[in-house]
Copies of this chain bind each other. A is one copy, B any other.
């Protein structure tokens, strides 16, 4: 169905008609000039992220449902990174003419799955058109008690540096998809050449055969289920199905651990750790052998002839949590699943160092993804 047939207000109504607010802090959501929220006892956390087609995502290999899920999760992740609880979200979309109502239903399906997972209310937004491509802008609102908020600037000398999950897998997933895309396009090119030849020669049997090969190729790629991906499912999942680590925030709370600084890893470990150190005016020392890396990440790096440590340090989009805790919390941290100790905070004058397996020291550099380069 064409979006123009519903119009702006019709589309919004269609997509949001059965959304029921779940949070007491949501007083009034979609349908007026503003949403109205009520936060008498907590601080309000606000974060925003913009995702642009061709820059942040490629619809050749991410479907709109996964994209909606991811767009919500990367914002929710920022609320967790302050040790907060996500509550509301505004969603703005700009669509070019190639998108249909069904496309937007898929996007909202993903969006709402992510929001349901963390009980976030969609309270409004803006839906408009774009000249080319899809633009997504989400603002997420959350809450925290003032004394619970964790900033980037609270790390101290001797604090332990911890990271959740594993690193570099989302980046390897992207490499895998990019490779498949190149293979796919070279197959497309080849088939199209053959089709042109068959058409020229008037060979209708060959033409029909080639055309069915062509549509097979298309459906194979769009479902992201080519045999080449077997044994690499985890990498794809990490790239396409981003999860915000609210479970880690909850575990830390239950263990009575209050991180001194925290950030989510969107642009790579090096870049984020340097943010913490810069704002906390400290140095750091992390150990290559302690970096949590999944087996599939290591295999894929090997296959692509890339250094796996570099991928773990600089690959983006893991959305794991990086945080520091007082050294006194060592025993408590050790007892929590899926949290890894990778080093410690030092005085600023000692620099920002990676200690390699063979005990060499390297200065950490923020080589993470720069969207403006």
Give the B-binding residues of A (Cβ under 8 A): 3-4, 6-8, 11, 27-28, 31-41, 43-50, 52-56, 78-79, 81-82, 84, 88, 90, 92-95, 123-133, 135, 137, 139, 141-142, 144, 146, 149, 151-153, 262-264, 279, 370-373
Contact = CB atoms under 8 A, between A and B. Distances in A.
A43 B36 contact: yes
Contacts of A47: 33-35, 124
A56 to B, nearest CB: 7
Contacts of A88: 46
Nearest to A90: B48
Number of this chain's copies in the complex:
2
A49 to B, nearest CB: 5
16 contacts: A8-B371, A31-B279, A32-B151, A32-B153, A35-B47, A36-B82, A36-B149, A44-B44, A48-B90, A48-B92, A52-B135, A55-B131, A92-B137, A127-B371, A130-B133, A132-B133
Given A39-B44, A56-B128, A128-B55, A50 B151 contact: no
A231 B151 CA distance: 55
B55 A94 contact: yes
A263 B33 contact: yes
Given A36-B44, A43-B27, A46-B35, A132 B129 contact: no
A33 B152 contact: yes
Contacts of A41: 40
A131 B133 CA distance: 8
B45 A35 contact: yes
B34 A79 contact: yes
A60 B119 CA distance: 44
A52 B132 CA distance: 10
A3 B39 CA distance: 38
Given A46-B139, A130-B133, 16 more contacts: A31-B152, A32-B153, A33-B78, A33-B81, A34-B46, A34-B142, A35-B47, A36-B44, A36-B82, A36-B144, A38-B44, A48-B137, A49-B126, A55-B130, A131-B133, A137-B137
